[in-house]
Amino acid sequence: MTIEQRIKNLSVPEGKIDVVLDTDAYNEIDDQFAIAYLLRSKEKLNTVAMYAAPFHNSNSNGPEDGMEKSYDELQKILSLAGETEVPTFRGSRTYLTDEKTPVISDAAQDLAERVKAYSPEQPLYVVAIGAITNVASAILLNPEVKENAVVIWLGGHGLEWHDCREFNMFQDVAAARVVMGCGVPFVQLPCQGVVSAFTISKPELDFWFKGTTKLGTYLAENTIAAAEKYAKGRFWSRVIWDVTAVAWLLNDRDRFMLSRLVPTHLPAYDDHYEMWKNAHPMQYVYNIRRDALWNDVIEKITEIKMPR
């Protein structure tokens, strides 16, 4: 890939594009917003497949269980959205054991095969909002992914943060290193210090989402129930992280966020970034325009017509 083509592919795309989404949908409550926002952005985004990603926290018994629960949650959101024809694939049941060995799964194999129909001039856009195991495995299975895809990942923390021990990243550092180091055009949306600004509160969910569409009501009730488990009557707000990765594809004229080209920084196994010689440029998001993005999300998911 020429440097000119790389820079073009690191810019917000013009025209309608094909997108696949890789998601740990049952991990918490933000993936559901991202899935809904993607499905409701048909004016530009054509969703050609969705993949269930592994995760392990209090909502799962291990990576495989997390992936299976995410696959089931994907079906639920697609049903609520009336989009059951979107192809969905089970992903990896474990994380990478090293940086050379792929984890074979339906998701990784589909992505490895699917990119053959694309090119650097007309790439497939891969939005990843979980541990990036499936994407890394696809790259290891078929190096054409590096040329024919653009990867947008919500993962890691801001460069100014004291470490990069973020949930999506530390679950599978090997996979993150494969994707970020392989040369695929790569866009990073860091969590703490950047996307952490994209919050919502109970009054906002009640006012804007509850009682609108089936999908809007589910998102509001699901978020409120999850947040109130730990808030226990205190004030709370919740970061809806994953929406921002979808929104980068819609970010014409910087309406939702600001980003810049920087040398790619790799996550090391000590929970910090490391710089490396001859690093490829990547697109680094450093600011989120919260209100502008929420206006678009609300309008698309709830079908409320926002003032212009």
Name the nearest CA neighbour of 83 among 126, 143, 37, 44: 37
pLDDT, tens digit (0-9, with 9 covering 90-100), for 124-157: 999 999 999 999 999 999 999 999 999 999 999 9
Q: Provide the CB-side half-sphere exposure for 155 (13 A, CA).
A: 32
Question: With 90 as the cut, is the pLDDT of residue 48 above it?
Answer: yes
Query: What is the mean pLDDT of the segment spanning 2-24?
Result: 96
Mean pLDDT computed over every residue of the chain: 96
Query: What is the mean pLDDT of the segment spanning 11-21?
Result: 97
Read off the pLDDT band of 233 (50, 70, 90).
confident
Q: What percent of the chain has pLDDT over 70?
A: 100
pLDDT, tens digit (0-9, with 9 covering 90-100), for 278-292: 899 999 999 999 999
Read off the pLDDT band of 46 (50, 70, 90).
very high
Q: What is the dihedral of CA 51, 230, 209, 70, to 10 degrees?
A: 10
Question: With 90 as the cut, is the pLDDT of residue 208 above it?
Answer: yes
Query: What is the mean pLDDT of the segment spanning 1-8?
Result: 92
Question: With 90 as the cut, is the pLDDT of residue 230 above it?
Answer: no
Domains observed in the chain: 3-199+241-286 (3.90.245.10)
Given a contact cutoff of 8 angstroms between Cβ atoms, the answer to whether 91 and 52 are in contact is: yes
User: Which amino acid is present at 133?
Assistant: T
pLDDT, tens digit (0-9, with 9 covering 90-100), for 53-67: 999 999 899 999 999
Question: What is the per-residue pLDDT for 278?
Answer: 83
Question: What is the per-residue pLDDT for 255?
Answer: 97
pLDDT, tens digit (0-9, with 9 covering 90-100), for 177-199: 999 999 999 999 999 999 999 99
Question: What is the per-residue pLDDT for 86?
Answer: 96
Query: What is the mean pLDDT of the segment spanning 239-265?
Result: 97
Question: What is the per-residue pLDDT for 283?
Answer: 98
**SS3 of the chain:** CCHHHHHHHCCCCCCCEEEEEEECCCCCCHHHHHHHHHHCCCCCEEEEEEEECCCCCCCCCCHHHHHHHHHHHHHHHHHHHCCCCCCEECCCCCCCCCCCCCCCCHHHHHHHHHHHHCCCCCCEEEEECCCCHHHHHHHHHCCCHHHHEEEEEECCCCCCCCCCCCHHHHCCHHHHHHHHHCCCCEEEECCCCCHHHCEEEHHHHHHHCCCCCHHHHHHHHHHHHHHHHHHCCCCCEEECCCHHHHHHCCCHHHCCEEEEEEECCEECCCCCEECCCCCCEEEEEEEECHHHHHHHHHHHHHCCCCCC
